[in-house]
């Protein structure tokens, strides 16, 4: 993830936005429409290692990404998964749940895979980028 999280496109995803803390990426596997990732820019394996300000910034980016996903993909709910046993670099999967999804099934990030035609995937990235730009991150109160 250190090597390719900042690239405009890699085998797994495309870049939506970059903040001081994170890269936000749309997964190529769109089995769950809107499936995205927020990846910490710094190489850190586990959330337990983050100082408070960086932890807050990371989750603020996750929230902002979720708002953008909701706006574009009209999800009913977003599941947030922080795993990393296979890829030991802190990242959060944002897995939108839609009205047509069975709420009782287990979450599977490898579901599908469903790959959109290149034009449709590009349009989804562009729409998410617009939604990201128009969504204000939550400020400290």
Residue closest to 95 by CA, chosen among 107, 106, 113 = 107
Give the DSSP letter string of the chain: -TTTTTSSB-SSEEEEEE-SSEEEEEESB-SSTT-EEEEESS--S-GGG--HHHHHHHHHHHHHHHHHHHHHH--SEEEEE---SSS-S-EEEEEEE-TTS-TTSPP-TTS---B--HHHHHHHHHHHHHHHHHSPPPPP-
- CB nearer to Zn ion: give 43 or 115: 43
Out of 7, 42, 43, 74, name the contact with Zn ion by CB under 5 A: 43
Residue 89 sits in the site that holds Zn ion (CB under 5 A)? yes
In the complex, minimum distance from the CB of residue 11 to Zn ion, in angstroms, rounded to a whole number: 16
Q: Which stretch binds Zn ion (CB under 5 A): 9-17, 36-44, 50-58, 112-120?
A: 36-44
Residue 115 sits in the site that holds Zn ion (CB under 5 A)? no
- CB nearer to Zn ion: give 21 or 30: 21
Q: Give the span between the Cα atoms of 121 and 138, in whole angstroms.
A: 28
Q: Which stretch binds Zn ion (CB under 5 A): 28-36, 42-50, 58-66, 104-112?
A: 42-50
Residue 2 sits in the site that holds Zn ion (CB under 5 A)? yes
* Spatial contact of 97 and 80, defined as CB atoms under 8 Å apart: no
- CB nearer to Zn ion: give 28 or 89: 89
Binding mask 46-85 for Zn ion (x = CB under 5 A): ----------------------------------------
Residues that bind Zn ion (CB under 5 A): 1-2, 43, 89
């Amino acid at each position: 993830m250190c090597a390719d999280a900042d690239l405009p496109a890699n085998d797994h995803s495309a870049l939506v936005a970059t903040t001081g803390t994170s890269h936000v990426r749309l997964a190529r596997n769109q089995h769950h429409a809107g499936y995205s990732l927020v990846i910490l820019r710094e190489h850190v394996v586990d959330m337990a290692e983050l100082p408070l300000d960086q932890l807050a910034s990371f989750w603020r980016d996750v929230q902002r990404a979720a708002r953008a996903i909701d706006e574009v993909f009209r999800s009913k709910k977003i599941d947030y998964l922080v795993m990393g046993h296979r890829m030991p670099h802190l990242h959060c999967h944002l897995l939108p749940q839609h009205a047509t999804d069975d709420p009782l099934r287990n979450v599977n990030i490898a579901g599908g895979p469903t790959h959109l035609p290149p034009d449709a995937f590009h349009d989804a990235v562009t729409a998410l980028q617009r939604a990201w730009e128009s969504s204000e991150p939550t400020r400290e109160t």
